[in-house]
A and B are shown apart, each in its own frame.
Chain A
Amino acid sequence: MDAQVADMPASLAAPSRVPKLSVQRIGKRYGKLDALLPMDLDVAPGEFVTILGPSGSGKTTLLQIIAGLTEPTCGRLLIDGRNETDTPPHRRGIGVVFQNYALFPHLTVAENVAFPLQMRRMPAAELNRKVAATLEMVGLGGLQHRFPRELSGGQQQRVALARCFVYQPALIIMDEPLGALDRKLRETMQLEIRRLHRDTGATILFVTHDQDEALALSDRICLLNQARIEQLGTPQDIYERPASLFVADFIGLSNVLRGTLEAGGLRTADGLLPLPPGATPASGSLAALVIRPEHVELDPAEGPALAGRVTETVYAGSEHRLVVTLGSGASLILRRTASQGSLPLGAPVLLGWPAERAQLLRP
C-alpha cells in the first residue's frame, strides 16, 4: 500500500499537511531589547504570505532569521518539516529578491539569470533552455544580452525575479522588491508577481510596509507591530475584522469612537451607540467602535443618527472624502462616489451606519 502511494504523482497525493515553512517560537533579543518576541508562523506550500508592519516592527529581523542571515535567540525554523535553524543561508534553498535588485553589473541579463543554475552545476543545454523560458515568463525575451545598467528599474526588477524563479527554490523571500519603483510601475509589477506566483505555484514570503500592496497580493497577511504578531489572516479578515485599533488604523482609513460599555451599547460623548450583533461586552469597561468610512451613511434609514457638520472635503478623483465633526469634537470620515458628489463646508449632516458594520475593540 505504501508503495502504491509512493508511485502516485505528487499532484494526485493528498495535499501535504507539512507546512513549507514553519516558524516555531522564534524570537530575537539584542541585549535587553526584544527585536522579535517568540512567535509562530506556518506558511503552506504554494501560499503567498505578506509580512507587513511599520518600520521597527521586527519584519526585517524575522526575514533575516528565516533567510539565515541572523541567528534567532530561541525557537526552531522548519522548512519542509526539516529543522533548518542552524543551516547556513546558502544551503536553505531560499531565494531572495532584494529591493535594490542586487544584479551583478558585470554580467548580462542571461548570465545573471543563469548564475544560480551554474552554481548548481546544471548541464549547459538544460540551463540555456531554462534561462530562456524564465526570461520569456517575466517578459524579457530578447533582452538577454543587455547589461543591467542598460535596463529600466522595472526591467531590472524583472531580471531579479527571473534569477530567483529560475532555480525553483523551496521558498522565495521578497524584501520590499517594489519599494524603489514609482506608483504605476509598482502596480504593474504587483500584477506580474501575482501572475508568476499563480503560474509557478511557488511559496512566497513577501515583506512590505505598504498596506495596499499587502491587500492586493497576499493569501494571508502577517501584520507585525512592536516585535510581535498583531494579526494573522486573509486580507479581507484584516480589513473587515481588525483585531486591534492598531490594525484598524494601519490598514485603510477608519473611524474610531471611544466610550464606556453599558447595557444596550457604548456610551460616548455623542450618545449611546449600538453594538454590532454578537458582541458580548463587559459593562463598565472602556471600548471603541471602529467603522470604515465606506460604511458611514448620510441620513441613515435606521439606527441612531449622529449630528455633525462637514469640516473638510478631500477630492480624490474617483471619490470625495468628507470629514464630519460631531458635537463632541470627534470627527468621522466618509466616502462619497464621484456621482454622489461632495457637500459644502459647514453643511449640517446626520450620520449612521449598519450596526453589523461596526467592530467593537478594546481601546
Chain B
Amino acid sequence: MATEAVRLDGVTRRFGAMVALHEAWLKVRHGEFLTLLGPSGCGKTTLLNLIAGFLAADGGEIFIEGALVTATPVWQRDIGMVFQNYALFPHMDVARNVAYGLATRGVNKAEAAQRVAEALALVKLTGMAGRRPRELSGGQQQRVALARALVIRPKVLLLDEPFSALDRNLRGAMQVELKEIQQRLGITTIFVTHDQGEALSMSDRVAVMSAGRIHQVGTPEEVYRRPADRFVAGFVGDVNRLPARLLGREGDTAQVAAGACHFTVPAAPLAGLAPGAAVELFLRPEQLAPAPAGGPALLEGVVVARVYQGDRMELHLEAAGVPGRVLLRLPGHAPGVGEHGSHLAVQAQPQPDAMAFPPTT
C-alpha cells in the first residue's frame, strides 16, 4: 500500500473562460477522512465530480489506488457517491436501491441479499427494506444513500454536502454516525462541505479551497491554529483582524505589537517586510478577554451587541482604528461584563495562537 488512495496531479477544469479548478495537487491517504472545505463556487464540488468522473479534466491526471483513471468512465471507477439530495431511485424500494450497485456487478442473489441486510444494519435501517424512499424522512433517506454507496465496497467514498438539507440536531447526529461508520470500515472518504464546524469535527485532514485553488491541506488543528493565509484564517472559524506593527524577526518567529501588547507569530507570512511595517494581527475570539482595570490593553471599544448562545456570550465591539467589529466569546452568560453600550478594555489570553499577515493593499 505504498500508493495513495487518491492522487491528483495538477488537475485543471474550465467552464468556458472560467477556471473552476486550477492545477489541483492532492494526495489522499488510505482510510483517511479528507474534507474539501470552501465557500460556494470555490471549486470543491468540481474537484469531487472530477474524482467521481462526472466531469472530464482539461489538464492533469487522476489516480485511484495507483491506477490512472483520468479517462476511465464513472461506472468503472469503483467509487461510492452520496449526494446532497440523496438521489434515491424513487421507483425502487429501499432494498432494491441498496442492491443496485451489486446488481450491476453481477453479485449473485443470495450474497446480494446478505450484503444489503448488512449494509442496512450498518446504517440502522433494518426493517425498512420494503419502504419506498418517499415514505422515509430526510435523515433516513440519507442513510439509505450511504448504505447504497457502501454496499459495493468502493475504493473511495465521495460525499457532496450530504447533510446540508437536514436540520441542525439531525445533522449533528448524522455527522457522528458517519464518522463512526467510516472509522469502523476504514474506508477512504472525501467529504465536501461549506460548513467549517462540520469540517473541523469530522476530518482527519481538511483541504481549504477558494476561487478554484487549494489554499491549505492540514489537520483540523493546523488549519484552525496555523492557517496558511488570510483566506484560510478568515474562513475556518471567526477571526479578529487588528492593526499591528512588525517589531522584528528571529528565526521562524516574528514579534508584532498591537495596542500595549506584544505577540509572537510565525514569520513566514511576513517575509520581505521591514521592522516597523504595518501588519494585520489575526486573533480568534476565544483568545480575547476583558482586561483587568489598569492592566495593559490590546484595544478598547464600545459594546454594540451581546449575543447569548447558552454556553457562551458573544460580545461585539466597535473600536477606534479597527476595521470591522471585534468579537469576544465569554463562557456562561457573563453577567455584568460588557453591557450594551459600555466601554470595554480587551486583552489577549496568555500565549495565544496569533498570526500576522501583510495588510491588504
Instruction: Select the stretch in A162-170, A224-232, A313-321 that faces chain B.
Output: A313-321
* Size bracket of the B interface: 35 or more
Residues of B within 8 A of A293 (CB): 311
In this assembly, does A80 line the interface, its C-beta being within 8 Å of a C-beta of chain B?
no
What is the distance, in angstroms, from A176's C-beta to the closest C-beta of chain B? Answer: 11
Q: Which residues of A contact B308 (CB under 8 A)?
A: 215-216, 235-236, 239
A215 touches B310 (CB 8 A): yes
Q: Are A317 and B310 touching (Cβ within 8 A)? A: no
Contacts of A194 in B (CB 8 A): 305, 307
Asked if B212 is an interface residue, CB under 8 A from chain A, the answer is: no
A183-B195, A211-B168, A338-B286 known; A317-B200 Cβ under 8 A: yes
CB distance from A311 to the nearest CB of B (A): 11
Given contacts A316-B201, A317-B196, contact A339 B311 (CB under 8 A): no
Are A318 and B194 in contact (CB-based, < 8 A)? Answer: no
- Does A16 sit at the interface, judged by CB under 8 A? no
CB distance from A234 to the nearest CB of B (A): 9
21 A-B pairs within 8 Å (CB atoms) are namely: A182-B40, A190-B307, A191-B305, A194-B307, A195-B305, A211-B310, A212-B309, A216-B308, A216-B314, A235-B308, A239-B308, A239-B310, A253-B311, A292-B310, A294-B311, A294-B332, A316-B197, A316-B200, A318-B237, A318-B286, A338-B353
Point out the residue from A191, A292, A294, A339 that lies within 8 Å of B316, measured CB to CB. Answer: A191
Question: Do B200 and A294 touch across chains, with their CB atoms under 8 A apart?
Answer: no
Give chain A residues whose Cβ lies under 8 Å from the Cβ of B284: 317-318, 338
Given A191-B307, A215-B309, A315-B201, CB of A55 within 8 Å of CB of B167 = yes
B331 within 8 A of partner (CB) = yes
Q: Does A210 interact with chain B (Cβ within 8 Å)?
A: yes
Q: Is B220 an interface residue (CB 8 A)?
A: yes
Q: A253-B311, A317-B196, A339-B351 are in contact. List 12 more A-B contacts (CB 8 A).
A: A191-B307, A195-B305, A252-B311, A292-B311, A294-B311, A314-B201, A315-B224, A317-B224, A317-B284, A318-B237, A337-B286, A338-B286
In the bound assembly, the distance between CA atoms of A317 and B305 in angstroms comes to 23
Taking CB atoms, residues of chain A closer than 8 Å to B196 are: 317
* Distance between B231 CB and nearest chain A CB, rounded to angstroms: 13
- List B259-285 residues whose CB lies under 8 Å from chain A: 284-285
- In the complex, chain B residues whose CB is within 8 Å of the CB of A265: none
In contact, A315 and B311 (Cβ under 8 angstroms):
no
- For the complex formed, measure the closest distance between the CB of A229 and the CB atoms of chain B, giving whole angstroms: 19
Q: List A residues 202-250 near B (Cβ within 8 Å).
A: 209-212, 215-216, 235-236, 239-240, 249-250
Give chain B interface residues in 285-322, CB to chain A under 8 Å.
285-287, 305, 307-311, 314, 316
The verdict on B349 contacting chain A, using a C-beta distance below 8 Å, is yes
Separation of A314 and B332 alpha carbons in the complex (Å): 21
With both beta carbons as reference points, the residue of chain A lying nearest to B311 in the complex is identified as A294
Option from B195, B220, B285, B286 in Cβ contact (under 8 Å) with A315: B220
Interface presence of B52 (CB below 8 A): no
Given the interface pairs A293-B311, A339-B349, the reply to whether A318 lies near B329 with Cβ below 8 Å is yes
Chain B hits for A235, CB < 8 A = 308, 310
With A and B bound together, what is the CA distance between A292 and B195 in angstroms? 24
* Closest Cβ–Cβ distance, residue A47 to chain B (whole Å): 16
A216 near B309 with CB under 8 A, answer yes
A319 touches B286 (CB 8 A): yes
Cα–Cα distance between A209 and B171 once the two chains are bound (Å): 13
- B77 to chain A minimum Cβ distance, whole angstroms, is 31
Q: Within 8 Å of chain A (Cβ to Cβ): is B76? A: no
What A residues does B168 contact at CB under 8 A? 209-211
Does B58 count as interface, using CB distance less than 8 angstroms?
no
Say yes or no: B220 contacts A317, CB within 8 Å: yes
Which residue on chain A has the smallest CB distance to residue B196? A317
Could you say which residues of chain A place their CB within 8 Å of the CB of B225? 338
The answer to whether A315 and B200 touch (CB under 8 A), given A216-B307, A239-B310, is yes
Inter-subunit contact A252/B286 (CB<8 Å): no
Q: B310, A251: Cβ atoms under 8 Å? A: yes
Is A59 close to B, CB under 8 A? no
Q: Residue of B at shortest CB range from A292?
A: B311
Q: Sorted from nearest, which 7 A-B pairs have the closest CB atoms?
A: A239-B310, A317-B224, A318-B286, A252-B310, A317-B237, A216-B307, A314-B201
Provide the bound-state CA to CA distance between A20 and B153, in Å.
61
Q: Which of A240, A293, A315, A335 has the most CB of B within 10 A?
A: A315
**Min C-beta distance of B227 to chain A, whole Å:** 11
Among residues of A, the one whose C-beta sits closest to the C-beta of B164 is A182
Contacting residues, chain B, for A240 (C-beta < 8 A): 333
Chain A 262-306 per-residue mask, 1 if CB under 8 angstroms from chain B, else 0 = 000000000000000000000000000000111000000000000
Q: Does A54 contact B (CB under 8 A)?
A: yes
Kindly state the separation between the CA atoms of A23 and B4 in the bound complex, as whole angstroms.
63
Shortest distance between the CB of A361 and any CB in chain B (Å): 17
Cα of A54 to Cα of B170 in the assembled complex, Å: 11
Among B40, B236, B316, B350, contact of A317 (Cβ-Cβ < 8 Å): B236
